């Protein structure tokens, strides 16, 4: 939310929307190709000085999901 994105915006927007968004903007639609997703991860990684890909993110989210499921089972 700090960059102006809202709950109705795509998780993976087109490259043109990888900037700070104006308050009250129209919902941002998702990108349509894997190439755009790779470009989005490259742009985001460059901004933080680390190299992440959509695949590393998928693995991280899978591991987090597994951890949360194990945690919930133990409660």
Written as tens digits, the pLDDT of the chain (75 aa) is 567 777 887 777 777 777 777 777 788 777 777 777 787 788 878 878 888 887 888 888 899 999 998 878 877
Burial 30-40 (b: 16+ CB within 10 A, else e): ebeeeebbeeb
Per-domain residue ranges for the chain?
Answer: 15-74
Q: Is residue 57 a contact partner of residue 38, using CB atoms and an 8 Å limit? A: no
Burial 3-15 (b: 16+ CB within 10 A, else e): eebeeebeeebbe
pTM exceeding the 0.85 threshold for the entire prediction? no
């Amino acid at each position: 939310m700090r960059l102006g994105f809202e709950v109705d915006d795509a998780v993976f927007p087109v490259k043109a929307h990888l900037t700070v968004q104006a308050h009250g903007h129209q919902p941002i639609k998702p990108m349509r190709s894997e190439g755009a997703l790779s470009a989005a991860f490259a742009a985001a990684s460059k901004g933080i000085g680390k190299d992440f890909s959509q695949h590393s993110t998928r693995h991280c989210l899978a591991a987090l999901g597994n951890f949360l499921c194990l945690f919930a089972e133990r409660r």
